[in-house]
Amino acid sequence: MPTVGDLVASQGNAVATAKDRQTTRSTDVLAQVVTFTLAGEEFGVPILEVREIIRMTDITPVPKAPPFVEGVINLRGQIIPVVDLRKRFGIAAEINEATTRIIVIEVNENVLGLIVDAVDEVLRIPADTISPPPALVAGGIGSEYIRGISHFNNKMIILIEMGRVFTHNEIDKLGDVA
């Protein structure tokens, strides 16, 4: 069974091959995303922002951290702040140890972990399936966090703009937590 790393590597090779072809059709422009579930909705983050995906682990609470910050983890010697995306988006927190994962991402030169309900797959989404976000999106998530919405393979995938999920002040505080 291939690991997420294998999937990421194979998808990266496929994208490189697609880029080598000199075509200009809009369906050839792809958004490559790691998809995950949060409160029954499917979301995606750009694969280039994802460092790795790990199982839920013990998180050390940090005093005076913002309410959506669960604490920190030690990932191979690096202290990483961990954010519960449900809390960040105003969704009731719920953890299912069997499927809950932490997606380790890099945003604005900061590494942080995102708690999600489950990680689904790596997808190459054609650009022509992505629409601009409406004013409000399911789950109370404002359109300012959304890069777009894709209707692909009979699914609706909300593409998150991670650089907009946190303010510069919050990013600084997350850096201070670590």
With a cut of 70, say whether residue 123 has pLDDT above it: yes
Rounded mean pLDDT, 75-104: 87
How confident is the model at residue 125, as a pLDDT?
93
CATH number for 4-177: choose from 2.30.29.30, 2.40.50.180, 1.50.10.100, 2.30.40.10: 2.40.50.180
* Ranges of each domain in the chain: 4-177
Q: What is the pLDDT of residue 23?
A: 35
What does the mean pLDDT of the chain come to?
80
- Structure confidence at residue 19 as a pLDDT band (50, 70, 90): very low
Q: Give the per-residue pLDDT at 161.
A: 87
pLDDT for residue 68:
86
Question: Is 10 in contact with 124 (CB distance < 8 Å)?
Answer: no
- Greater confidence, 29 or 92? 92
> In terms of Cα–Cα distance, which of 107, 160, 119, 157 is closest to 5?
119
CB contact set of 111 (below 8 Å; sequence gap of 6+)? 51, 78, 80, 104, 105, 178
pLDDT at position 17 is 42
Q: What is the mean pLDDT of residues 124-136?
A: 85
Q: Which pLDDT belongs to residue 178?
A: 62
